[in-house]
Amino acid sequence: MKLKLLQIGFFLAIQTPALLLAQSDEGDSTPEISISIEDGKVKIAINLNEPFRWENTRYESIKIFPLPWGGAIPHEIWFEEKSDMTWRQTDMMFMGGYEVIGNSAKNILNQYTAKYGELGTRTWSVDSEGNLKSFNENTGKYEIYTPEAFAKKFGLEFHQSDKYEIEAEVLGYVKNIKGVFDLETNLLNFDKLDYAPFFKIPKLVVEGSKDMKKWSKVKLSEPLPKEYQWPQELSIEMEAELKESTFYRVKIVEE
């Protein structure tokens, strides 16, 4: 188990809200933290600034649909690892798979086959990690390339910008479904519906101290949610004694 310190913030009970920037060497993924007092509670807003991803993300449709027994809920899509997906439409579940268009290993391999033919001295395939591999009889070892490196080696097209488009093969559907993520609206358009992405929240620990020597876990007003709508910030509330200045720090517990 590893602890990753996001921020130590010095908070004065009488001061106006101040913006606190987390210290990190992760470039654009640096978390941003702000602290304020509202209605007698300390509020910490954390923007994790996680980069966009397809894997391990749940998508929820903006539009809601009626259930047969009453009420209404949104459609949901779960994009899992290894290109597996589940799609729920009200009370029906559909299974399938997806691949990223343009920079997927399968797309690059199709380009290679079209250019050089299926037969040759070397046979290439896609491994479980999404890379291309082939056994080299001269060295007695496998050669493994990322899709980008493979495309460069063999003069194939590689479009990094296409990473925001997917093609899904869903059981029960005759044609594949194309999904496009819009970075301006932060919504996925899939099967003519707009979906918002939800990322799982890492395990966070908030601690407080009067002297930065002895730290204790701070009790939150409510349990942390399991996920947040990307790329929005996460809000944490905690009860606080507004009499003394206090240091607060937020840590991510990495398993």
Per-domain boundaries in the chain: 2-48+202-254, 57-101+161-199, 105-158
Query: Helix, strand, or coil here: 140?
Result: coil
Report whether 134 contacts 122 (CB < 8 A): yes
Average pLDDT of every residue of the chain: 81
pLDDT at residue number 54: 92
Is residue 91 within 8 Å of 68, Cβ to Cβ? yes
pLDDT at position 96 is 95
Least confident range of 6-10, 84-88, 213-217: 6-10
CATH number of this structure's domain 57-101+161-199: 2.40.128
Q: At 137, is the pLDDT very low, low, confident or very high (cuts 50, 70, 90)? A: confident
Which region among 2-11, 92-101, 149-158 has the lowest average model confidence (pLDDT)? 2-11
Amino acid at 164: Y
pLDDT tens figures, 74-133: 999 999 988 899 999 999 999 999 988 766 777 788 888 888 876 555 788 888 777 889
Residues with Cβ within 8 Å of 185's Cβ and at least 6 positions away in sequence, in order, are: 194
pLDDT at 2 over 70: no
Look at residue 183 and tell me whether its pLDDT is greater than 90. no
Question: Six-digit token pair at 76?
Answer: 């949901």
What pLDDT does 238 receive? Answer: 79
Token pair listed for 70: 């009453």
pLDDT, position 247 = 81
Residue 12 has pLDDT above 50, yes or no: no
pLDDT of residue 108: 84
